[in-house]
Amino acid sequence: MRRPTRVPERRRPAARAAAAGAAFLLASALALAGCAKKGPPTGGPPDLEPPRVIATSPDSGAAAVPTHARVSVTFSEGMEPRTSGEALEFAPPLTIVQRRWSGNTVTLVLEDTLRAEHAYTLFVGSGAHDRHGNALVESRAVVFTTAKVFPPGVISGHIDAVGFKPAGTALWFYLGARQPDSTARDFDALAVADNHGDFRVAGLAAGTWRVWGFADLNHNHSFEPATDLLVRADTVLEITPEHPRVADLRIPMLNPHAPGRFAGAVVDTVSDHSGIVLLIVTSLADTTRRLSYEVPESGSFDFHWDPGTYRVRAYRDLDRNHVWKRDTEPASTEFEFKLGPGTEVTSITLVLLRPGSGGTGP
């Protein structure tokens, strides 16, 4: 039988061309990928820069602001919309029905127009965060008025903070005899303390003013008596056309839950420095409970404890079993002290004595 004649494949040149083209495209893609690898890596360094308020409309100190004015705040970078929008509030209070973001600027749409012949404070709180979680570097209070002339009243002063950092502490100002409603945030004017505890509020009308300091220690934007501080200044302030300025108002604020500091050193000249040095600490609020703290080899110690009255003894724990053997292990006399909220008991020296030398007490 005659074998069939094999017909030459005429499509091979096209197939070769296609294969060559594919190889060229692949080589080009690899070349481009190689070029891309020479560029900077994706992601970049983390954003650690806190945002700032760089502009507001109206500006602070503005007068003759139209009652239909749109209020806006511009930040130095893109912000997280929800937390940043909630960090904006007015004194006297105004209902914000919408927060419209455009880039780094938020415009506040109010339920009602501004009142004529009235001063307002726009507060930008530290709850504002950028998109990487960095909090506002400093709270901002912006005062403006719809009156033709900016009110001349100014009150400035200082927060004497004990047991907490004063930065961000709000000052609520009330005109007349009104008392604060901590849930309504119905203050007539608002200021915020800086890192040093200093504050200043301008644009106050003539009249009698009362001031409360509010420290939001749990940072939830509402007053909770168990954790936060709301302290009234013991002075009633009078603003008059003849005397529009009140300066050097001081408001003491104490956090009763703030830990105190106990610091000092243990001196040991009677042992060979084997084992470890420990402090036995007993709170008089619960004498059945004793805590043990290890002292560094340098002998210096620095601890923070809850307010209360304590008894402390130092000893060298030769066998490291955390139990003082009074017959064999050097110890100091027992020291009793009271630690107040946010206070310090420092420069304490506990001297270890030989066992049986007396002075170590019970």
Has residue 310 got a pLDDT over 90?
A: yes
The reply to whether 169 falls in a domain is yes
pLDDT score for 14: 43
Verify that 140 and 184 share a domain, yes or no: no
Verify that 171 and 183 share a domain, yes or no: yes
Closest CA to 309 of 280, 342, 286: 286
User: What six digits make up the tokens of 181?
Assistant: 């409603």
Average pLDDT of the chain is 86
Verify that 114 and 142 share a domain, yes or no: yes
Ranges 125-129, 217-221, 318-322: which has the least confidence:
217-221
pLDDT score for 361: 61
Verify that 323 and 239 share a domain, yes or no: no
Q: What is the pLDDT of residues 93-118, one digit of tens each?
A: 899 999 999 999 999 999 999 999 99
pLDDT score for 359: 58
Verify that 246 and 274 share a domain, yes or no: no
Mean pLDDT calculated for residue range 179-188: 77
Mean pLDDT calculated for residue range 222-249: 93
Q: What is the pLDDT of residues 43-98, one digit of tens each?
A: 556 767 899 999 999 999 999 999 999 999 999 999 999 999 999 989 888 999 99
How many Å apart are CA 242 and CA 96, to the nearest integer?
A: 36
Verify that 121 and 155 share a domain, yes or no: no
pTM above 0.75, yes or no: no
The reply to whether 247 falls in a domain is yes
The reply to whether 74 falls in a domain is yes
CATH of the domain at 284: 2.60.40.1120
CATH of the domain at 233: 2.60.40.10
The reply to whether 242 falls in a domain is yes
| Domain coverage including residue 241 | 151-257
The reply to whether 89 falls in a domain is yes
Has residue 125 got a pLDDT over 70?
A: yes
Verify that 167 and 122 share a domain, yes or no: no
The reply to whether 28 falls in a domain is no
Asked which of 257, 291, 310 is the last residue of a domain, the reply is 257
Has residue 25 got a pLDDT over 70?
A: no
Mean pLDDT calculated for residue range 124-128: 87
Verify that 191 and 94 share a domain, yes or no: no
Verify that 68 and 105 share a domain, yes or no: yes
Mean pLDDT calculated for residue range 158-164: 95
Has residue 230 got a pLDDT over 60?
A: yes
pLDDT score for 43: 55
The reply to whether 36 falls in a domain is no
pLDDT score for 2: 41
Mean pLDDT calculated for residue range 268-281: 94
Strands (E), 255-343: 260-267, 276-283, 286-295, 300-305, 308-317, 335-339
pLDDT score for 94: 92
Asked which of 207, 234, 257 is the last residue of a domain, the reply is 257
Question: Helix (H, G, I), strand (E, B), or coil: what is residue 24?
Answer: helix
pLDDT score for 46: 72
Asked which of 233, 257, 281 is the last residue of a domain, the reply is 257
Verify that 64 and 77 share a domain, yes or no: yes
The reply to whether 21 falls in a domain is no
How many Å apart are CA 102 and CA 70, to the nearest integer?
A: 14
CATH of the domain at 94: 2.60.40.1220
Q: What is the pLDDT of residues 236-253, one digit of tens each?
A: 999 999 999 999 999 999
**Sorting pLDDT into bands at 50, 70 and 90, what band is 181?**
confident
Verify that 250 and 177 share a domain, yes or no: yes
How many Å apart are CA 187 and CA 312, to the nearest integer?
A: 48
> How many domains is the chain partitioned into structurally?
3
pLDDT score for 24: 40
**Which is it for strands 260-267 and 344-351: parallel, antiparallel or unpaired?**
parallel
Verify that 234 and 206 share a domain, yes or no: yes
How many Å apart are CA 139 and CA 113, to the nearest integer?
A: 25
